[in-house]
A and B are shown apart, each in its own frame.
Chain A
């Protein structure tokens, strides 16, 4: 099974770009890469998802190299409110009877944004 590895923690300052990398050397062909954000005492919240190359939405970008053995979540110009734990998730969704899906979360990266 694919195992994901992330840095335990990162520090940044307001206004900086933050890049969090997740390593998933055993990623399978049908696995997608998804990132979640979790604030204290809340459930994780979906940020972005991708399969290969680059994906961008209104809050983040996701860079996936051609070999897909790693991925990088990029948060542009972080603010204090971006202080949270960020989880990398590798897997594929359950798509009906007989397809159980696979969901493996990384251990999470605690991002601390300082003023």
Chain B
């Protein structure tokens, strides 16, 4: 069973479009995250979501918005996509208060 899953694995779209990436975890974790990994392999946290409390990295544009329908899901919505949004996006989860995170397989977003 996949612990943390993401869909789609690949996403190719044009500038200006709106897209969503879905994430689900079956580990019963309380906290979920979204990360962005750029072409130089830098990993940066975008959001942390726990018990309906969202913590936003201040450098993330407000075109990005996480949506959590329930504890097991944290989706990422991106409006008005830009070329610089091209990257691999990872979802992760952990128990609250625990640093050990479980990452999904990633979604490679390409904006043309």
Footprint of B on A, CB under 8 Å?
32, 34, 41-46, 49, 85, 87, 89, 91-97, 100-101, 103, 105, 107-108, 110
Question: Which chain A residue has the least Cβ–Cβ distance from B95?
Answer: A93
Interface presence of B86 (CB below 8 A): no
Q: Is the CB of A49 within 8 A of B92?
A: no
Q: Is the CB of A103 within 8 A of B103?
A: no
Q: Is the CB of B4 within 8 A of A43?
A: yes
Q: By CB atoms of chain A within 10 A, which of B4, B90, B101 has the most?
A: B101
Closest Cβ–Cβ distance, residue B101 to chain A (whole Å):
7
Q: Is the CB of B98 within 8 A of A93?
A: yes
State which residues 44-58 of B face A: CB under 8 Å: 44-45, 48, 50-51, 53, 55
* Count of chain B residues with a beta carbon within 8 Å of a chain A beta carbon: 28
> Which residues on the A side are within 8 Å of B4 (C-beta)?
43
Q: Is the CB of B90 within 8 A of A43?
A: yes
Q: Is the CB of A108 within 8 A of B43?
A: yes
State which residues 75-112 of B face A: CB under 8 Å: 90, 92, 94, 96-106
Of the candidates A49, A96, A100, A105, which one forms a contact with B96 in the assembled complex, judged by CB atoms under 8 Å apart? A96
A44 to B96, CA, bound (A): 19
